[in-house]
């Protein structure tokens, strides 16, 4: 792969193996001469490829007309000269103007097509974006917040800071943080428009107007470098298949000296008494089921390694157990019921599991609920919290 | 004198921000276009539904207007920029000194936006121009940003472009 950087905010690269030419960042040259190297790289890429050249502009944050005309002219000339060449320009649904600008090219040259990268960004997205899941997400946050509100200050959350909550879901964590810690700024980002619409409605109902909810791809955020003192990303690394990419983005937007805070589970460690064996069997199977869909719900204790590999220092790790004794045991039971419905009712079915397996799988959830509601029972859901400091 | 395209009846546009700079200073550094558009976009977008994406979209449009001013402006006098809001629309009013003989070209470029062949001319511009003309930049704003554009002229050698950008609807 060859890479050229014109300015700190602009990157151009060509990956010959996958035939992807990518433009990223901000490119606003005064004249074409300033981007001559990048134009030459595109020409070389066109010469090198056979069949389809992918032009990836998903991370292109700004491009002025000078640059647009220059790159497009090369692409159009190449298509006119080579009947065998096809170009696929991949834009992002997040950056609205790219799809509009590049979208015209197919009308000029049919060999160029434009694809909007708007499919699922992570494997489990379709499972958790169902709006029927929203009440359970709220209950989950209520249950974890009892613990996290005292944990967060140890990881750097304090009044007056700038904070981003990446993969904010329905935005309830951001609301709780805003009320409890009064950061100067909160940006809450998610790729579910339905979840964000819900988040905005909840914030409005609570009279909260200073949370900036934004639609975006966590692995390719529009947010600028080194902006936030505190970046949270809760329960998301574990359901993201490109974890290093996500961590790289969290690192990028965090200020030097700021901290990135992640929470994740180790589902096989969910527990309960009585009926411990059945519960344990089911949650071991939960871990395997998620693994089948390229998600790692065993990630919690691996957080330290992930943060270290991403370049963070001063890494702090701790864990807490959400239990049926924290508040209303029915809340705990409701969450497990929702898990049963999604994991056994949808994911196992999609994996093609037999009715016999699914029935045994369901039984463990029911036993977990039994333990939670039993007058002498105990049911737990462990969470790992980790944060790392971006070196100064 | 006003020349323009599909500008709605004057509505109650609320002022958001005013920016002035000596033209000589503005022209001393090309990066001023990028810096000013990025900074102002962030300021006026903070209370939009999706501030980050609105700011990105708005900065893109504003930068093009600043680049038009940079390329066509003269160093005497000031560049003035006012941003107003009415509902989902931001209005950008940008005034910059330019040679008197250039004014008709701006007038003509704005007039052409209204023509039925605007889209075809925009595609032709992308297809054939190595560098964008001021006309193709204004067409870009009209076609890709759904902008309404008009021009105001004064006795002094200056041009005022008034650009209505309904970006809140596009972003959300």
Write out chain B's pLDDT in tens, 172 residues: 444 544 455 668 999 999 999 999 999 999 999 999 999 999 999 999 999 999 999 999 999 999 999 999 999 999 999 999 999 999 999 999 999 899 999 999 999 888 889 999 999 999 988 788 889 999 999 999 999 999 997 778 899 999 999 999 988 7
Nearest to A388 by CA among A293, A313, A335, A333: A313
Identify whether the C-beta of residue A374 lies closer than 8 Å to the C-beta of residue A275: no
Contacts of A108 in chain B (CB under 8 A): 123, 126-127
* Residue in B31, B35, B60, B120 to test binding to A, most A beta-carbons within 10 Å: B60
Rounded mean pLDDT of A226-246?
Answer: 94
CB atoms within 10 A of CB B104: 10
Flag whether residue A70 sits within 8 Å of chain B, measured between CB atoms. Answer: yes
Nearest to A285 by CA among A383, A370, A358: A358
Round to whole Å and give the CA distance between B66 and B37. Answer: 8
Contacts of A189 in chain B (CB under 8 A): 52
Reported ipTM: 0.93
Fold (CATH) for A125-389:
Rossmann fold (3.40.50)
- Kindly report the nearest CA distance between residue B155 and chain A, in angstroms: 30
Tokens, residue A277? 């064996």
A241 pLDDT exceeds 70?
yes
Closest residue to A61, CB basis, from B46, B56, B126: B56
CATH class of B14-171: alpha beta
Tell me if A64 and B67 make a contact (CB, 8 A cut-off). yes
Identify whether the C-beta of residue B158 lies closer than 8 Å to the C-beta of residue B93: no
Closest residue to B170, CB basis, from A30, A72, A96: A96
Nearest to B171 by CA among A65, A198, A100: A100
Identify whether the C-beta of residue A313 lies closer than 8 Å to the C-beta of residue A388: yes
A260 pLDDT exceeds 70?
yes
Round to whole Å and give the CA distance between A363 and A345. Answer: 12
Domain residues of chain A, as ranges?
2-117, 125-389
Element (DSSP H or E) covering residue B106 = helix B103-113
Nearest to A295 by CA among A133, A164, A131, A126: A126
Tell me if B130 and A222 make a contact (CB, 8 A cut-off). no
Cite the DSSP H helix spans in chain A.
36-48, 65-81, 96-102, 105-108, 125-128, 134-151, 172-181, 193-205, 243-253, 276-292, 303-309, 329-339, 348-351, 355-373
pLDDT > 90: what percent of chain A? Answer: 81
Round to whole Å and give the CA distance between A207 and B155. Answer: 50
Domain residues of chain B, as ranges?
14-171
Contacts of B160 (CB under 8 A, 6+ apart): B93, B94, B95, B151, B152, B153, B154
- Kindly report the nearest CA distance between residue B154 and chain A, in angstroms: 28
Tokens, residue A251? 């690192």
Return the pLDDT at B82.
97
* Residue in B39, B45, B52 to test binding to A, most A beta-carbons within 10 Å: B52
We find that the CATH architecture of domain A2-117 is 2-Layer Sandwich (3.30)
Identify whether the C-beta of residue A384 lies closer than 8 Å to the C-beta of residue A317: yes
Tokens, residue A382? 């462990």
Pairing of strands A86-92, A52-56: parallel
């Amino acid at each position: 792969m060859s890479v050229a950087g014109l300015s700190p905010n602009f990157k151009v690269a060509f990956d010959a193996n996958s035939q992807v030419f990518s433009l990223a960042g901000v490119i606003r040259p005064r004249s074409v001469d300033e981007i001559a190297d990048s134009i030459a790289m595109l020409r070389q890429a066109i010469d090198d490829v056979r069949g389809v050249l992918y032009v990836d502009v998903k991370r292109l944050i700004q491009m002025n007309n000078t640059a647009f005309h220059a790159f497009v002219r090369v692409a159009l000339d190449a298509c006119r000269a080579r009947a065998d060449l096809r170009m696929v320009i991949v834009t992002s649904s997040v950056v609205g103007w790219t799809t509009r600008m590049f979208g015209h090219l197919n009308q000029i040259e049919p060999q160029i097509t434009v694809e909007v990268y708007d499919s699922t960004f992570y494997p489990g997205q379709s499972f958790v974006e169902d709006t029927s899941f929203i009440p359970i997400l709220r209950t989950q946050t209520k249950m974890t917040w009892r613990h996290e509100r005292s944990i967060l200050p140890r990881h750097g959350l304090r009044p007056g800071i700038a904070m981003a909550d990446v993969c904010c879901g329905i935005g309830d964590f951001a609301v709780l943080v805003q009320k409890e810690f009064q950061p100067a700024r909160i940006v809450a980002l998610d790729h579910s428009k339905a979840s964000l619409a819900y988040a905005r409605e909840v914030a409005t109902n609570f009279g909260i107007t200073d949370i900036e909810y934004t639609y975006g791809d966590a692995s390719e955020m529009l947010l600028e470098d080194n902006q936030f003192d505190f970046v949270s990303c809760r329960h998301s690394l574990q359901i993201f298949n490109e974890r290093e990419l996500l961590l790289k983005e969290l690192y990028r937007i965090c200020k030097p000296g700021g901290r990135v805070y992640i929470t994740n589970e180790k589902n096989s460690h969910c527990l309960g008494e009585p009926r411990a064996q059945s519960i344990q069997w089911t949650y071991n199977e939960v871990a395997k089921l998620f693994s089948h869909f390229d998600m790692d719900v065993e990630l919690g204790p691996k957080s330290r390694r992930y943060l270290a590999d991403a370049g963070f220092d001063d890494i702090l790790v701790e864990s807490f157990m959400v239990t049926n004794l924290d508040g209303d045991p029915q809340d705990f039971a409701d969450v497990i019921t929702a898990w049963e419905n999604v994991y056994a009712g949808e994911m196992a079915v999609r994996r093609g599991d037999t009715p016999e397996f699914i029935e045994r799988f369901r039984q463990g959830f029911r036993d977990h609920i039994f333990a939670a509601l039993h007058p002498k029972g105990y049911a737990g859901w462990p969470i790992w919290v980790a944060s790392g400091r971006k070196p100064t | 004198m006003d020349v323009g395209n599909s500008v709605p009846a004057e509505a109650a546009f609320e002022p958001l921000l005013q920016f002035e700079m000596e033209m000589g200073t503005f022209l001393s550094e090309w990066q001023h276009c990028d810096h000013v558009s990025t900074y102002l976009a962030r300021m006026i977008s903070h209370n939009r539904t999706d501030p980050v994406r609105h700011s990105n979209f708005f900065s893109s449009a504003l930068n093009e207007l600043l680049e038009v001013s940079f390329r066509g402006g003269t160093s005497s006098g000031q560049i003035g920029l006012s941003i107003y809001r009415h509902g989902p629309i931001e209005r950008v009013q940008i005034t910059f000194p330019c040679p008197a003989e250039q004014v008709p070209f701006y007038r003509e470029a704005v007039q052409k936006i209204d023509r039925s062949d605007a889209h075809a001319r925009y595609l032709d511009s992308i297809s054939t121009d190595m560098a964008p003309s001021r006309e193709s930049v204004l067409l870009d704003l009209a076609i890709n940003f759904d902008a309404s554009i008009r021009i105001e002229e004064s006795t002094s050698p200056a041009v005022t472009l008034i650009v209505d950008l309904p970006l809140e609807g596009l972003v959300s």
